[in-house]
Amino acid sequence: MISAAATAGAVTGFGIRHGDWLGPFVSLGTQVMRGFGVTEAPQSIPSLAGVAAHVGWMVLWGIAFATMATKRTPLIAALMALLVGTGAALIARFLIPAATGAVRFAGLPGTQVLLCVVLMTMGFMTGRVLATTD
């Protein structure tokens, strides 16, 4: 959830910079809804669908990271976080274009995409630190 919040915050900021703070999520939601055959919906539905898809995507990768990084040293966990973040970006980019959503469909430049991956990776590590009980 930390990665979801961090990346959603960044994407919202990028949207504001481009003059449309909800645009990236509306774009993602529209793509997801088209995948389910929904082409006409009230104005707020695509943005809600986009936020839900973004959070779902981040939670999926958070679970993948938690599975891989359990009981690892902090250095190995950081490498796993970077691997999962990069893997998520590549899979979204090449295999599931709608999954990249807010980044791809907003037409964000490469540096902004890189920042989102870095924020996702840092979110994984922050969640790991917060979840540590030993």
pLDDT of residue 109: 64
Q: Which amino acid is at 134?
A: D
- In this structure, which amino acid lies at residue 86? T
Q: Give the predicted TM-score (pTM) of the model.
A: 0.78
Separation CA 10–CA 103 (nearest Å)? 10
Which residues fall within 8 angstroms of residue 4, CB to CB, at 6 or more apart?
54, 55, 58, 59, 62, 123
Amino acid at 25: F
Tens digits of residue pLDDT in 89-107: 787 777 666 555 545 555 5
User: Which residues, given as ranges, of the chain have pLDDT below 70?
Assistant: 95-109, 133-134
Write out pLDDT tens, residues 9-22. Answer: 888 888 888 788 88
Q: What pLDDT, on the 0 to 100 scale, is given for residue 70? A: 82
DSSP structure class, residue 132 = -
CB atoms near residue 21 (< 10 Å) = 14
